[in-house]
Structure formats: structure tokens, C-alpha cells
Structure 1
Amino acid sequence: MIDTIVWQEQGIQQAAETLRRGGLVAFPTETVYGLGADARSSEAVAGIFGAKGRPSDNPLIVHIADRSQLGELVEPYPALAGELMERFWPGPLTIVLPAKPGALSPLVTANLPTVGVRMPDHPLALELLSRAGVPVAAPSANRSGRPSPTLAGHVLEDLGGRIDGVIDGGATGVGLESTVVELEGNGAIRILRPGGVTEEALKRAFPAVSVISEAETGEQPAKPRSPGMKYTHYAPRGELTVVQGPEERVISYINLLAEEARHEGMKTGVLAFSEHAGSYRADLVLDLGSENRLDEAAHRLYAHLRKLDEAGVGRIWSEGCEPGGLGGALMNRMLKAAGGRAIRLDR
């Protein structure tokens, strides 16, 4: 069993050296904590899959500190990709680009001809990547299927003893993983995974470009082209159901089912927006923040799912939200955490 080190900011040089010699280092980004390894080394990258228990056909995102690194990693890319970088890097946007043959471990790309690349907007992440001097493959630093970590303590809960160390940078910001996009031959931007950069933000930045959401097409690829497309993710141990509809009906419906579950001896939990949290009768009601500030819910979601686990809650209901703006990414993560269990109540 590995003795997992917790580094503070002054330990970044040691963490960078650990990455260079093929070790596994968790680090904070503006989205969630990532689990990093040298993306060129199959041995190092295999360690990520082993520590997380991650399916090998699920590709990894490569993190860089400077655009000059792209020349070693990818083939020439469309001008629009460069414009996306100018507008949204550093930031929570991953761009799928043509991978340069032999530049990265095939485990990173899952043997696809492309690779997702991003530049995180977090000072500790950028300093680590800069000092390491290697491209870093980094999925979220949690056991596969578990809620993503937004604190160093979450990383240790899942991966303590499995990785070399974690840089403790406090709570992450956005709280949801990056948006993943790919560019189509006709110049359109396709969103493969919603995240911190919303569909609306992309359309505002590029009004003349067609922006397509994967959710709009209903496509379910047999082989995922990016992380977060195929597998159930972010799941608590208890059974989660997302409920949407008129406020009064949602509250009555959840309270009725929570009462039935308690009679069966099941501990119950509810994730609710601030405006309604006081109306629920469950063993544990957690406040997602205002329904008018979905950034609060995005920031709190994964930590709340872990709190429900800590409390031993077996049956969970969550209020849903409308998919506009950050709501698209929030509902994507909620539904994946629920394994697709969702109820929409009529008026």
C-alpha cells in the first residue's frame, strides 16, 4: 500500500518531480481535483486506471500549462480550435484535437485518433504542470463511478493508499468537470459533455458558428469519444432519483415517498434548492443553494452526495432544474449520478 503524501503549496516541486518519474499526483483545478500522470508513459497512465478502477475504453483528458506544448502532442488543428483557446483558456473547456501518432500513450486516447486537451484555470495546477514539464493525463481523482472530489479530503477517501500524493488547494471553484467539445468538418462546434463553459457562452463567443449539443442528437456512441459520455458517474451509494415539475407537486411527491421509505426502515435524504429546502421531511435535507444561482448547486453537488454517503442514506431524491445555462451541465451530472432515474410530474 502506497503512503499517500499530502502536499501544501510549498510541496509543488516535489509533486512535479513525482509526476516526472512516473508517479500519480492528485491536484486541484477550477473544476474538480484531477488525478495526474505523465501522458506519454503507458506505465504511469495504467496506474490511473488501476487506482480509479476506470474502464480502459474511457479516454483521458491531457492537461497543459502552455499552448506551446501542443506542437508535440497534436497534429495541425482548425483555426476555430485556436480561437476557442484564445477565448476560453485557461478555463473549463476541453477541446478534442487530432493526436500526433506516438506522442501519447494509447491508454490516454483509448486508441482513438484524437485527444481531449485543456489548460486549467487554477494557479496551483498551472504551476504544477509548468514545473513538471510533461503533458499530464488527469481524470477526476475519485474511484470510478463515485462523486468527483472537490476537496483534498475527498481524494483521500477514495484513493488514499493508491496514489503517491495530493496537493491540498482547498475547495475547487466550478465544482463540475470541464465542457468537452469537438469540431466538425463543416465548422460546427459539438458539445460532447456539458460543463463550466455553457452552450450559451459558446454561442455568444461565436455567433456565426453552429453549436450542437450531444444531448440534442440522442446519440449514444458504442465507444466514448470523450470522458463522461458512456458510463454512470458521480453516483452516491444510496439510490438517487431526480424529480422535476411544479414546486408543490414535487414537494408532496418526495415527502410521500420519503415517508414510505422510512416505514421500510430506510434512511432518507433530499437535495433541494434554498427556496424549498424547509418544506421537506427527510432524515437529511441538503441545501443546493438558490434556484436562481445554479453555480451554487454546481459547487455543492458532489460534496453533498458524499455527505449523504457519510450519513448512510439509502434513498435520495433531488430537485431538478431547467437545462439552460449551467443547468445543462448540472442536470447531466444529476442524471448520471441517478443512473438515469428521473420523474417529471405534470401540472
Structure 2
Amino acid sequence: MILDGQSGQAIEEAARTLRAGHLVAFPTETVYGLGANAADDDAVAGIFAAKGRPSDHPLIVHLPAGAGLAQAVERFAQPLPDFAQKLVVAFWPGPLTLIVTRQHGVATAAAGGQDTIGLRCPAHPVAQALLESCAAHGVPGLAGPSANRFGRVSPTTASHVQGEFGDDLLILDGGPCQVGIESTIVDCSRGVPVLLRPGQITRAQVEAACGERLRARQEVGSPDPRASGTLESHYAPSAKVRLMDAKALQTALDVLGADARHIAVWSRAELKSQSGHILRRRMPDDAAAAAQMLFAVLRDFDAQGVKLIWVETPPDDHAWEGVRDRLQRAAA
């Protein structure tokens, strides 16, 4: 059931549904989330069951902005290190998740049983309206992974979510997601900032905001905390994804010639094919625009029944790091 996220009545109905221990899908600026009361382990178990997600694979907890943010952080996390506080000030609300040390006895299921927990304050107005209404109903935050079956392509519209879970799930429609890929994840639990997942917020922006060098995962001796979206294979459509440079793409199309079938191509380069059966979409030259389109393009190709999706490898620079990460995991 899709409800208009601009409706106060719909927001109130969603908040009551969440307070009762049920699931609600909601929009964020990154992708649509599948939400449950993060403080209710039984409700959170419903997320794992609906997605088919392993219960030890942690979820991100979404928090309300404004005057209640500090209290919400304190509810779920132990005191943040100074560099993490600087990131909160710089990027919340926004597409940044911080992995921090969890308060004992709180949100155990959402944390996947770990001593750390992922926290985010989303910027989408519908998400914030829902979180504020939830707080008024005694729900301090929402555990909210992407609203899709585990390992599949993330949803960026309400109709994507409905296609995954059918009509029984209450879905707040906030329009297409503006960022289009999941949040940047920075681990703040080991004394230094460590990048676990790239996103729209870049390395340079994180370093400038927190005043410290952002470490790569390989630089820190202790094991990474488990975090959302960091499995090698993830974000995968039904069709097989393959990354190639423009020259390799053109060579492959030339070899197949007029016989090419069931193939979709997403590229920045202008490519030629003798086949009239190749589906082609133009990848934007701008990284942010490509990120916004990425999951919708993969879903559209799947819907048209292709067996192979050939994608031109994104440029090797920090602006494209989030797009490159998602495509590499889709191809894995």
C-alpha cells in the first residue's frame, strides 16, 4: 500500500504502524529504507525475515534531526570521539553513516549482536517527518536497510519497493531518491576514521570536516566491524553484470555483430552495434547524475529481460568511487 509521504495523515499512520511493531518503507535521499523500531528487537527481526537477510548482518539506525538529535545519539551510542562529532556537525542530516560504540543493551538486533552500531540522520523531508512523528510516539529511531530482498538492487522509487514486497507493506512515497546510492560509511569506533563504504560524500570532504586523514580498511590492524553493504557481492540484478572499458565494449559488440541478443549496455562512450536488439542507455559524464540513475537503470534492464548487462567502467577518481563500488559488487 503506497501512501503519499506529503500527507500528515499518512505520516501519522506510518508512525502508529511502527510503534505497533510492524514494518514501513520510507524514502531517504539515498535509497528507500525498510523501517522498524530500532529499540524493539522483535520488530527488527521482521526486517531480517522480510529481506531474507542474515541476522548477524547489521542495520543502520536512522535518527531525527533538530533538537532531539543529541538525545537520540545518546540513546544508541556511547560518547562519540571528537572527530565523529565534527562529522555529525558537517554532514547531518545527510548521506553519511557513522559506526560508533553501542550503548549496552540497546538495539542488539539492529547491531547484529556487535558492540558497534551504525547511525545516520537522513536529509529527506519525508524521512524526517516520519522520524519526528515516531519520536513523539516513543520510537527513538528506525532501523532501516534498503527496502529490497537481500543482495538485490536497491530501490529508489516507491514502485520499486512495491515490486519487491507487494501490496501488504505500507510504503511512504517521497518521489525518486536524489542521491541514488547508499550513504558513505565511516567507522569511528577504533580511534581513527576508517572508510568502510564510499558514497556521495567523498574522502576529501570527510577529511576536511574531521581534520584527520581517512584511513583505508587495510591500514587498521583490528578487524572491521560488520557494516551494511560491504559484502563482496551485493546490489545485483538478475542479469549478469560485466564491467569493461569503452574499447573492450566496442570490440565485444563488433565480434557479436548482428547476432547480438539479450544484452544491455550502459556507457558514456558512443558505441556502435550491427544488431538492432541491443538495449543502450547513456551513462552521464557527471558522477552524481550517474549515481542517481544507477539502480533504476539496472532495474529497468532486468525488467526488459536481458541476460547480460555491460557497463563501461567508471573513471578512477574519488568522485566516482561510490558508483564504482556499487558496480563492482553488482558484477561480483
Could you state the TM-score of these two structures normalised by the residue count of structure 1? 0.86
Cα distance change, pair 192–17 in 1 and its aligned pair in 2 (3 A):
same
* Mapped partners of 2:297, 2:92: distance in 1: 29
Structure 2 contact 38–110 (Cα < 8 Å) conserved: yes
Structure 1 contact 176–299 (Cα < 8 Å) conserved: yes
Could you state the TM-score of these two structures normalised by the residue count of structure 2? 0.90
What displacement does 1:278 show? 4.8
* Mapped partners of 1:314, 1:29: distance in 2: 30
Cα distance change, pair 85–269 in 1 and its aligned pair in 2 (3 A):
same
Cα distance change, pair 13–331 in 1 and its aligned pair in 2 (3 A):
same
Cα distance change, pair 260–142 in 1 and its aligned pair in 2 (3 A):
farther
May I ask how many residue pairs the two structures share in their alignment?
Answer: 320
Partner residue of 2:84? 81
Give structure 1 stretches of 5+ with no counterpart: 340-347
| 1:143 matched to 2:136 | no
Matches for 1:3-22 after TM superposition, within 5 Å:
4-10=1-7, 11-22=10-21
What displacement does 1:24 show? 0.6
Matches for 1:22-171 after TM superposition, within 5 Å:
22-65=21-64, 66-104=69-107, 106-133=108-135, 134=139, 135-161=141-167, 163=169, 165-171=170-176
Partner residue of 1:242? 243
- SS of aligned partner of 1:109: coil
| 1:294 matched to 2:287 | yes
| Deviation sequence 1:199-246 (CA, Å, 0-9, x none) | 12112334x4121233x659996x8621111252111111110113xx
* Mapped partners of 1:180, 1:85: distance in 2: 12
What displacement does 1:136 show? 0.4
Give the partner amino acid of 1:124.
V
Partner residue of 1:178? 183
2:212 to 209, 215, 227: 209
Partner residue of 1:329? 322
* Mapped partners of 1:55, 1:169: distance in 2: 28
Q: RMSD of the alignment, in Å?
A: 2.2
* Mapped partners of 2:220, 2:283: distance in 1: 28
Give the partner amino acid of 1:213.
A
* Mapped partners of 2:308, 2:297: distance in 1: 14
1:255 to 233, 253, 261: 253
| 1:284 matched to 2:286 | no
* Mapped partners of 1:156, 1:219: distance in 2: 42
* Mapped partners of 2:117, 2:242: distance in 1: 33
- SS of aligned partner of 2:17: helix
| 1:226 matched to 2:227 | yes
* Mapped partners of 1:31, 1:278: distance in 2: 30
Structure 1 contact 269–315 (Cα < 8 Å) conserved: yes
Structure 1 contact 224–230 (Cα < 8 Å) conserved: no
Query: In terms of mean alpha carbon deviation, does 71-80 or 165-174 score higher?
Result: 71-80
Structure 1 contact 220–230 (Cα < 8 Å) conserved: no
- SS of aligned partner of 2:318: coil
Cα distance change, pair 115–205 in 1 and its aligned pair in 2 (3 A):
same
* Mapped partners of 1:81, 1:171: distance in 2: 30
* Mapped partners of 1:107, 1:61: distance in 2: 11
* Mapped partners of 2:264, 2:14: distance in 1: 38
Moved over 6 A (4+): 218-221
* Mapped partners of 2:259, 2:123: distance in 1: 43
Structure 2 contact 179–288 (Cα < 8 Å) conserved: yes
Identical residues among aligned pairs (%): 37
| 1:310 matched to 2:310 | no
What displacement does 1:285 show? 0.6
What displacement does 1:331 show? 0.6
- SS of aligned partner of 2:98: strand
